[in-house]
Structure 1
Amino acid sequence: MATTPQTNVTLAEFAEALDRFESFALCGHVSPDGDCLGSQLALAHALRAKGKRAVCLLAHDDAVDKSFLFLPGANELIPACEFESDVDAFIAVDVPNLERLGDAARVHESAGAHFTLDHHAVESCMAEYNYVDPDAPATGMLVWRLIGEMGVERTFEMAQCCYLALMTDTGRFQFQNTTPEAFVLAGEMVSAGARPEECSQEIYQRRSAASLGLEGVMLSNMQVAPSGEWVLSYARLDDFERLGAVKADAEPLIDVLRSLDGIRVACMLREQEDVVRGSLRAKGDGIDVAALAREIGGGGHKAAAGFTYKGSIDDALAEIPVLLDGLFVGGEGKE
């Protein structure tokens, strides 16, 4: 990949630079998803295989979604607010900007050297060593390539974490970001020991009763645009309290909405104490939901993005449909 303002080293140079340091703190973005967690855990395993010290941090002290706890090393994740040690270098994994590092920004600032490995489009470098590839379907795929440059044997632990990262960010290899290389590297991961059946079962086939209850709420609240271009739904805070649901129980709902025949964009809103969390998914080419997310302080990818709406759920329900309509001009999605 060519050097750009966001990428100032090759993966080989990135790996060579890692060799210069002995201790690392790794952290992904706030509200970590499968790609974020799998990527940082896999890279930490690779660093330890080279005799380095590596600790994986959580940007906030929220509990990790229990569906990810089967990943090798997940039980060793530490909230950044509890981490007090000094490290030679900090690696931001799957993080497009410092704001998304949450409590780990303090650790980032105190580290002697800084690395960024990501597949989100960014406006500027935030480290001395940056490798950013927006065309990669998952940061986990970049980690897998990097491990190949590090000269360590690819183990089950690395393969399982990278496979989970790639599987989740491609929507089980169904999203429009699924490239031929994604299948090739997934095959390499399986050859190295990754277990597709286990990853699929843990992530997609262990839903709680509360999650299914939320799905009923979501279906009852579903709104389809008169044009048929988008679908939106929501769950209020009292729905979560009544069902005993937690954040993780709402994660599958956006993909249920996305499955509605004929729509091109799905939006799921989740009320919290002071804000509303939103998830966006596109179906088909030519629509950039990240552009909408950026309008309200969020971000992500063309086909999958998220945002935090600073207002009430009722205000969001009035404003978001207007923004969704704005994605379409003359029946065509705007990029």
Structure 2
Amino acid sequence: MSEPVAGGARTPGTVWTSDHEAPALGWCVPATSWGYAAEHVDHSLRSAAGPAPRLPDELNVLVAPERAAVPIRRAGSREPAPPVAAVPSVPGGGGTDGPELDWDRAVEVLHAAEEIVLACHIAPDGDALGSMLALGQALRGLGKRCRASFGEPFTIPVSLRFLPGQELLVEPFRVAERPEVMITLDAAGVERLGSLAGRAAAASALIVIDHHASNTGFGAVRLVDPDAAATAVLVDELIRRLGVPLTRDIAQGLYAGLASDTGSFKYPCTTPQVHDLAGRLLAAGVRPEAVSRELWDRAPFGYLMVLAGALARARLERDAAGGMGLVWTTIGRADRDSRGVPYDQLEGVIDQLRRTDEAEVAVVCKQNDQGDWYVSTRSKGQVDVGRACVALGGGGHRTAAAFTMHAEPAAIIDRLRNALREAA
């Protein structure tokens, strides 16, 4: 978030954003209420949080432990994948300056490590948490001691509670101050790690796995490809190179990440390779209808009321964004507080707004609990909203990006409108 400056005013700060910056629909519960492995949980926290709510029966079946190995195969082939040395090194197609994919070094470091810490960005979405838990389970399958975490607030939406591997999660303060090996996932900059940023800086070896064009270049071993559809794509490749079988539980996390960052396979980043990967994950036992229900098809009634208010306030500017049209709305803290809707339930609003035929760009200004406005942007491909958001202190992708600002919404839209004019 932006930091205060003299006089109490705030200016746009560097805020590294995900393309899907908030979790999907669902109410939030403390991460400490899920139930971890006994050695990772403080008993006072467990008793204070109470028992974890029971998942629907169909999801209990969905995430039931299954360790039977599923053969790893190349798309379009019935033969097992070749040895690591024969695997191509660019699964995502390469970014503007070429992807940074140090596969050999990453595999070497992980095979040599005994204990590994995994961290994803604060307020994790499906790609961040799904990728992290999938990789954590794979490393555990290699006999590694693993802990996974993310910076405060250490909470997660119910919409992601179906993901297997949550027994790996620990509170940020339980992460070693100087990890032997640390892996960051789906974080474009170290600031996005929140309270775990110091641990990343102090790690003996830091591996960065990310697909954001706004990645700042941190980390000694980098698996960064802006053209990868999701961090899950890169994690899948790393798991394959590590020689770990693709179990159903691992596939579940990867599928959640892939589906989240492709907008359920409808965004421009959806390629034939993405569908090939999705097919392999389904073959491993993933049930797409159950995943889709948890990610997109659940919401408390209060969310519908907040959505109705946001749509009623929507404004269409046909001449903005280089004449291609801008549609925008706001959701103040009071709007959601009156309906008992937490901030992190608001991501789905922009998916409704972006349907507007007359607008190339959709924008939702969401006020968080600190009073700052988090500005989510989407385009249909003709305008680079990532470039506009970077100019305002944020980041993301060409078609999905965000930034944070402390100002009145009208002033924020004025600045964004000017930035979009340059990016159109």
* TM-score > 0.5, shorter chain as reference: yes
Q: CA deviation at 1:6?
A: 8.3
Letter in 2 for 1:324: R
State the match for 2:149 in structure 1. Answer: 57
Instruction: Tell me: CA distance 1:13–1:191, structure 2 relative to 1, closer, same or farther (3 Å).
Output: farther
1:30-41 alignment to 2 at 5 Å?
A: 30-41=122-133
Instruction: Tell me: CA distance 1:321–1:194, structure 2 relative to 1, closer, same or farther (3 Å).
Output: farther
Instruction: Tell me: CA distance 1:58–1:16, structure 2 relative to 1, closer, same or farther (3 Å).
Output: same
Q: Do the aligned residues in 1 keep the contact of 2:149 with 2:172 (CA within 8 Å)?
A: yes
Alpha-carbon distance in structure 2 between the residues aligned to 1:20 and 1:113: 11
Q: CA deviation at 1:321?
A: 4.0
Deviations 1:185-204 (A, max 9, x none): 01011111222111100011
Q: Do the aligned residues in 1 keep the contact of 2:116 with 2:147 (CA within 8 Å)?
A: yes
Task: Please tell me the root mean square deviation across aligned C-alpha atoms, in Å.
Answer: 2.1
Q: Do the aligned residues in 2 keep the contact of 1:80 with 1:107 (CA within 8 Å)?
A: no
- Which of 244, 247, 252 is matched with 1:152 structurally? 244
Alpha-carbon distance in structure 2 between the residues aligned to 1:301 and 1:295: 13
State the match for 2:329 in structure 1. Answer: 233
Instruction: Tell me: CA distance 1:297–1:328, structure 2 relative to 1, closer, same or farther (3 Å).
Output: closer
Comparing 261-270 with 58-67, which one deviates more in the overlay? 58-67
State the match for 1:143 in structure 2. Answer: 235
State the match for 2:31 in structure 1. Answer: none
SS in 1 for 2:254: helix
Alpha-carbon distance in structure 1 between the residues aligned to 2:101 and 2:278: 25
Deviations 1:144-183 (A, max 9, x none): 1111111011111110000000001000100111111100
Q: Using structure 1 for the length normalisation, give the TM-score.
A: 0.91
Alpha-carbon distance in structure 2 between the residues aligned to 1:32 and 1:123: 17
> Relative CO higher for 1 or 2, CA cutoff 8 Å, sep ≥ 6?
2
- Structure 2 unmatched runs, 5+: 1-89
Deviations 1:235-265 (A, max 9, x none): 1111111100102321210101011122111
Instruction: Tell me: CA distance 1:274–1:230, structure 2 relative to 1, closer, same or farther (3 Å).
Output: same
Alpha-carbon distance in structure 2 between the residues aligned to 1:124 and 1:254: 26
Q: Do the aligned residues in 1 keep the contact of 2:160 with 2:294 (CA within 8 Å)?
A: yes
Q: Using structure 2 for the length normalisation, give the TM-score.
A: 0.73
Deviations 1:124-144 (A, max 9, x none): 532221111101110001111
State the match for 1:274 in structure 2. Answer: 371
Instruction: Tell me: CA distance 1:121–1:326, structure 2 relative to 1, closer, same or farther (3 Å).
Output: closer
Q: CA deviation at 1:86?
A: 5.0
- Structure 1 unmatched runs, 5+: none
Alpha-carbon distance in structure 2 between the residues aligned to 1:74 and 1:202: 16
Q: Do the aligned residues in 1 keep the contact of 2:117 with 2:175 (CA within 8 Å)?
A: no
Q: CA deviation at 1:4?
A: 9.7
State the match for 2:217 in structure 1. Answer: 125
1:1-335 alignment to 2 at 5 Å?
A: 1=90, 9-74=101-166, 76-84=168-176, 87-122=179-214, 125-227=217-319, 229-272=325-368, 273-283=370-380, 285-311=381-407, 315-324=408-417, 326-328=419-421, 334=424
Moved over 6 A (4+): 2-6
Q: CA deviation at 1:222?
A: 0.4
Instruction: Tell me: CA distance 1:247–1:78, structure 2 relative to 1, closer, same or farther (3 Å).
Output: farther
Alpha-carbon distance in structure 1 between the residues aligned to 2:245 and 2:291: 22
Paired positions, count: 327
Identity over aligned pairs, percent = 33
Alpha-carbon distance in structure 1 between the residues aligned to 2:285 and 2:338: 42
Instruction: Tell me: CA distance 1:40–1:75, structure 2 relative to 1, closer, same or farther (3 Å).
Output: same
Q: Do the aligned residues in 1 keep the contact of 2:133 with 2:168 (CA within 8 Å)?
A: no
Letter in 1 for 2:262: T
